Structure 1
Amino acid sequence: MRGDGSGSVPDIPAAGREKAATAMTEAATAWLGSLNGRQLPLAAYDSPLHPDAEAERLRWFYTPTEHGGLAIRDQSARQQSLAMQLVATGLSVAGYATVTTVMGLENALDQLEGWTVHWGRQRGRDPGLYWLRVFGRPGDRIWAWRLGGHHISLNNLVVAGRLMSTTPCFIGADPATTELLGGTLRPLQGPEDTARQLARSLDAGRFGRALLHPSAVSDIVSGNRPRVEHGDTMMHMQDLWRGRFDDPDLDRLVNDIDRRAEAGSGYTADDHTRMAITIPPRGISGRGLNKEQRHLLRRLVALYTGRAPEFLADAYDAHYASDTVLDGVHFGWAGSTDAGEPHYYRVQDPRILIEYDNTQRHANHAHSVWRDLTSDFGLDVLAEHRTDIAHE
């Protein structure tokens, strides 16, 4: 990530990148070394330099579809521990706790749905159905790994012994709010409440500049595209899975979910066009906010970049501490600002894209994603190294 004066993230200290890559290499090597001959072909894939492997690496999901790799449930207890040790190397302590909480929520969701949703398998909501896959050999010049499952997608690229990319980074929660004995569980409470506080702090004029649409779109707009581009509109449910269902009942279920979501939002094709990703971004810029609102915007960005290992999160914090940089960050809102009502927001600058929606299941089903408009999956860095390799 090199600074270019346009608001992109500045150089990250090499020592931090190297430390993270070393931890990932050691953890991935230990996990792969524990697998048997049946498990290894699922877990270990070709290098990102291989076109077929790269196409698979860029094929990411956040629906309860098969994500590719070796599922946690298909591993021994020791292997599961090693797998989660690898996952932890790509996250901050708080990020890891959030991810593992979301994985465990599959149990609560199963009960919420009356244990009836199966998605073509023995258990439709399964905390063991999170797939881990390594691309290339840990320690090679270029290798990558990902964890994916319902409401989780973590994607990491290591190049020349340095961690170079941690996006797309998707975390969702269904249910977004769960009652506990004597309390409430809200894995995405910080990102939701901070954004709402910012939106509600805006006076009528500022809120009018921030408002993207009076009602909330039913999902994140960028979807699971490998790259986000100007004019992208929301992807519908049917396109967010690894292919179509052979079972007509499941195919109808997906269609019904999409139909209900669209009916709930009331969106037409024109509404989706209005909510499209734009470059430059829509919304109110940091330049138009007062001191307290700017503080909330910085905190909101940090709640996403803070998912990453601490050295990277700290670098983002330092970057957005600059008033000049924050001036170029835009905040957009759609829907109601009342708690418990459907809403969507977007944070965007020349590089970062953050999206959050909580609209489905009566605004108790949240999606959040942090993306890099210039280098999701480390594609810019990877392109440079491919060129270098070709010239060697």
Structure 2
Amino acid sequence: MHSMRFILLIVFALRLLLPFNAMAHPNEAAAQDMANAANAFLATLKPEQKSKAVFQIDDADRTRWHFVPTEMHPRKGLSFRDMTTEQQHMAYSLLASVLSARGVQKTAQIMSLEQILHDANPKGRFARDPKWYFISIFGKPSVDGTWGWRFEGHHLSLSFTVVDGHIGGLTPAFLGTNPGIVLDGPRKGLQVLSTEENTARALANSLNAEQSKVGIVAAKAPADIITKADRRARQLTPFGLPASKMNKKQFTLLWTLLEEVMRIYRPDLAEDALKHFEDLDLSKIHFAWAGSLEPRQGHYYRIQAPNFLIEYDNTQNDANHVHFVVRDLKNDFGEDLLQQHYEQHHKK
């Protein structure tokens, strides 16, 4: 696996070669940059590689996603195993067309944790391999077209949809870490999702007695995220402490958490997403915590707003194994906008 610094340098250099549409609307600019990066990646592939990587936009596999090892969920697409070094660099550049540098870094770090798992148990049940991650492209990438793509492997699933040249969907977005914190070896102390855990715990610990009655919803955390890898995430009953009942310090912690989540995406998309939260009625944003408030003890939290859900669960492997997901309850995989597209462009 390439070093993190090398990966980020490659991404930055390749990003300079791609036109960045700073004058366009953030949504449209990101879609154009993503299409250009996807086509640059596809241009490096041999025919037999393209046959693995490219699918129709309506292929059922587009919404068939999961975060478990590939032995448990056979994946289609072109894996890093089957790419040349140049192609791997172009794949990272495709990620960088829609993710921020921090988002690319988190992605690469999660992939690299597979090497730690392999070294700890080389003859284990699963073939831990930092290169067993797959790119699948659905439809034909173009600056004004309708298409999508996914980057996926163990503990990673990132789906992106473009509808008529605009970003149609950025979810589901799943990030997981095992180990949650590296406990020994040369990378001891690495915690890829540190802000996602530590800021949420600080918020839960800051609740007073009355707030805790509402915000701490259970003494024991669920065994996993509630929505699992459902193709369509169900609308969970909003519960927990509404943001309108938080003091200034608590709301700052909540906002820090939301920023960390959204800033895996490139800055213009992140700002666009955060603007939606700024416009929401604070009574409609809920924070709920379940389980222990102590580190390395099982815990779970979720943040829910109308049509939006974040879930975080850390219960496995002595609470050192994180599952974290972002769902758009109305528009995962761009389904809502795709439906509008089909109704407008495919009328009989």
* TM-score, structure 2 normalization: 0.88
1:318 aligns with 2:322: no
1:145 aligns with 2:149: yes
Q: Residue 348 and residue 216 in structure 1: after superposition, are their counterparts in 2 closer, same or farther (change >3 A)?
A: same
Structure 1 CA distance for aligned equivalents of residues 278 and 232 of structure 2: 27
Q: Deviations over 1:222-275 (max 9, x none)?
A: 111111124xxxxxxxxxxxxxxxxxxxxxxxxxxxxxxxxxxxxxxxxxxxxx
Q: What's the CA shift for 1:383?
A: 0.2
Q: Residue 14 and residue 182 in structure 1: after superposition, are their counterparts in 2 closer, same or farther (change >3 A)?
A: closer
Q: What's the CA shift for 1:320?
A: 2.8
Q: Residue 116 and residue 374 in structure 1: after superposition, are their counterparts in 2 closer, same or farther (change >3 A)?
A: same
Q: Residue 182 and residue 389 in structure 1: after superposition, are their counterparts in 2 closer, same or farther (change >3 A)?
A: closer
Q: What's the CA shift for 1:209?
A: 0.3
Contact 2:30–2:269 (Cα < 8 Å) also in 1: no
Name the residue aligned to 1:190: 195
Misfit runs of 4+, over 3 Å: 179-183
- Which residues of 2 match residues 108-123 of structure 1 at below 5 A? 108-112=116-120, 114-119=121-126
Structure 2 CA distance for aligned equivalents of residues 60 and 82 of structure 1: 23
Contact 1:14–1:162 (Cα < 8 Å) also in 2: no
Give the 3-state SS of the residue equivalent to 2:221 in structure 1: coil
Name the residue aligned to 1:135: 138
Give the 3-state SS of the residue equivalent to 2:68 in structure 1: coil
1:44 aligns with 2:54: yes
Q: Deviations over 1:8-63 (max 9, x none)?
A: xxxxx96111211111111111111111121111101112xx3xx0x210000100
1:82 aligns with 2:38: no
Give the 3-state SS of the residue equivalent to 2:25 in structure 1: helix
- Which residues of 2 match residues 223-372 of structure 1 at below 5 A? 223-230=228-235, 277-278=236-237, 281-322=238-279, 325-372=281-328
Q: Deviations over 1:298-328 (max 9, x none)?
A: 1111221111221121123333345x53331
Q: Residue 229 and residue 212 in structure 1: after superposition, are their counterparts in 2 closer, same or farther (change >3 A)?
A: same
Q: Deviations over 1:85-106 (max 9, x none)?
A: 1122121111111011100110
1:170 aligns with 2:177: no
Structure 1 CA distance for aligned equivalents of residues 337 and 268 of structure 2: 19
Instruction: Calculate the aligned-residue CA RMSD, in Å.
Output: 1.7
Q: Deviations over 1:64-121 (max 9, x none)?
A: 1233200011111111111111122121111111011100110011123x212243xx
Q: Residue 182 and residue 173 in structure 1: after superposition, are their counterparts in 2 closer, same or farther (change >3 A)?
A: closer
Q: Deviations over 1:315-358 (max 9, x none)?
A: 23333345x53331100111000011110000001121000011
Q: What's the CA shift for 1:181?
A: 4.7
Contact 2:26–2:272 (Cα < 8 Å) also in 1: no
Structure 1 CA distance for aligned equivalents of residues 199 and 239 of structure 2: 19
Q: Which of 95, 103, 111 pairs up with 1:95?
A: 103
Contact 2:92–2:104 (Cα < 8 Å) also in 1: no
Name the residue aligned to 2:31: 21
**Which residue identity is paired with 1:222?**
T
Give the 3-state SS of the residue equivalent to 2:230 in structure 1: coil
Structure 1 CA distance for aligned equivalents of residues 36 and 344 of structure 2: 26
Q: Which of 18, 33, 45 pairs up with 1:35?
A: 45
Q: What's the CA shift for 1:183?
A: 5.7
Contact 2:168–2:338 (Cα < 8 Å) also in 1: no
Give the 3-state SS of the residue equivalent to 2:47 in structure 1: coil
Name the residue aligned to 1:206: 211
- Equivalenced residues, count: 321
Task: Return 5+ residue gaps in structure 1 as ranges.
Answer: 1-12, 231-276
Contact 2:296–2:319 (Cα < 8 Å) also in 1: yes
Contact 1:302–1:316 (Cα < 8 Å) also in 2: no
**Which residue identity is paired with 2:96?**
A
Give the 3-state SS of the residue equivalent to 2:303 in structure 1: strand
Task: Return 5+ residue gaps in structure 2 as ranges.
Answer: 1-22
* TM-score, structure 1 normalization: 0.79
Give the 3-state SS of the residue equivalent to 1:348 in structure 2: strand
1:390 aligns with 2:341: no
Q: Deviations over 1:148-185 (max 9, x none)?
A: 00000010001111122110000000001014659610
Structure 1 CA distance for aligned equivalents of residues 345 and 95 of structure 2: 29
Contact 1:329–1:349 (Cα < 8 Å) also in 2: yes
**Which residue identity is paired with 1:81?**
H
**Which residue identity is paired with 2:34?**
M
Contact 2:139–2:148 (Cα < 8 Å) also in 1: yes
